[in-house]
Structure 1
Amino acid sequence: MRFCDAIWDEMQPVRQQILDLPFLTELAAGTLPGESFRHYIMQDSLYLAEYARVLALAAARAPTAAARLEWSDGAKVAVMVEESLHRSYFDMFGVDAAMVASSEPTPACLGYSSYLGHLAATRSYAELVAGILPCFWVYWEVGCTIKPRAVSPNPYAAWIETYATAEFGGATERARALVDEAAATATAETREAMARAFRTATRYEWMFWDSAYNRSGWPV
């Protein structure tokens, strides 16, 4: 079994917990409180800025031209999501660029982005891309799962549609292929490190949405 298939199956209980989160259940129903979504998009904007940098670092470290191109394209997509999808919701919820710039990352946001930065700075390319992958793959699963049951009209329809498109699915598949490619020539030790990175990033996905729903900040 390929690396990605094996770790995806292993993380099924966590993936189900993500799909069961009140944030996503209520988002699909169109009943998610606006303040929770506002909290989410502001934090996601901060996160995506760092994620784009991590993808650019993955591109710089990639062993092949195809991989460099793919991770570079991923960085551009992250910026485009911030510029288009986020800006439309910023207008809807009364958020401006100054508010985002002055906002502070929550523990979940800072923890996730810093973890990926740690992988980029101190770990192998293979471990880094395994940590990058959940942000693609989990969002793709979420988009495809909640789109069929989402009510219409829905104030969050644009968000749901973004992550359920064939284009985003294609980007996810290509990222998956690059991770499997890295795992195919990795040692057993490196493959286990890749699995740890994937597990950790998937748990951070759960934490990010849970934190947004509860509008959590720093406890002290």
Structure 2
Amino acid sequence: MNTTAYDVLKAQCSQEWDSTIHHRFVNELVSDTLPDEILRHYLIQDWQFSYDFYSLLGEAIAAADTMPAKVRLGQQMGFIANDENTYFHDRFVQFHVSDDELTAPELTPSSKGFRKLYRDAVDSHSYAQALAVLVVAESIYLDWAEESTAGGSRMPEKDQHIGWIDVHRGNDFSAWVQFLIDEFNRVADPQDSEVARHFTDAVHFELGFFDDAYIHE
């Protein structure tokens, strides 16, 4: 039985992966016990590397070696620019986030790490390295969103919590993640040190990003 690149690298990061999908942040989000101030801080930080995420997705479109892959990546770019972008702006209004807070916040360690990682992947002009970061960013969120809500059967009640879960689970998002996994397995060599580094660093920063949400607690 063949073991895929995704399976190999995910297994190497299994401890941090499991810690991320069962994180306190996830548990509090789903149980409606997450303080608004924690979510507010988290979303301001997440917004800081949204710019880099768009660049990374754009680089993946440019580097993709088949037309179907380019089309699928482009379709997802449209979704992020609409549904997910709307969620951010609705929350910034709800939490009275100022323009200054969005344009020049103090970055947490993981935010800084993410921004550098995304830029490194863009600068590599490597489809496999771009996918290594994208597949972690999306599949680890699908894992926590589906598992913590029992496939959507155990949802919170607050809009700010429902919305963040809804953009990271469900049939459409699952299909997107499966596309990324399939593409990663098709083009990536898990023995390639740069591919492996991008993958494992992405997992590390995902866990750190949840930790950093509580940095001022």
Instruction: Using structure 2 for the length normalisation, give the TM-score.
Output: 0.87
Cα pair 2:4 2:185 within 8 Å, conserved:
yes
Cα pair 1:48 1:78 within 8 Å, conserved:
no
Distance across 1 between alignment mates of 2:54 and 2:82: 10
Distance across 2 between alignment mates of 1:164 and 1:108: 24
| 2:164 is the counterpart of 1:159 | yes
- Identity, % of aligned pairs? 21
Distance across 1 between alignment mates of 2:116 and 2:83: 20
Cα gap change, 1:35/1:27 in structure 2, threshold over 3 Å: closer, same or farther?
A: same
Alpha carbon RMSD of aligned pairs, Å? 2.2
Cα pair 2:117 2:198 within 8 Å, conserved:
no
Distance across 2 between alignment mates of 1:76 and 1:199: 27
Distance across 2 between alignment mates of 1:7 and 1:169: 20
Cα pair 1:45 1:82 within 8 Å, conserved:
no
Cα pair 1:51 1:78 within 8 Å, conserved:
no
Distance across 1 between alignment mates of 2:125 and 2:7: 22
Cα pair 1:43 1:105 within 8 Å, conserved:
yes
Alignment partner, residue 17 of structure 2:
15
Alignment partner, residue 215 of structure 2:
214
Distance across 2 between alignment mates of 1:152 and 1:127: 35
* Consecutive unaligned residues in structure 1, runs of 5 or more: none
Query: 1:197 corresponds to which letter in structure 2?
Result: H
| 2:146 is the counterpart of 1:141 | no
Distance across 2 between alignment mates of 1:170 and 1:151: 21
Cα gap change, 1:24/1:211 in structure 2, threshold over 3 Å: closer, same or farther?
A: same
Distance across 2 between alignment mates of 1:122 and 1:104: 27
Instruction: Kindly state the Cα deviation for residue 106 of structure 1 after the two structures are TM-superposed.
Output: 2.6
Alignment partner, residue 198 of structure 1:
199
Cα gap change, 1:62/1:26 in structure 2, threshold over 3 Å: closer, same or farther?
A: same
Instruction: Kindly state the Cα deviation for residue 214 of structure 1 after the two structures are TM-superposed.
Output: 2.3
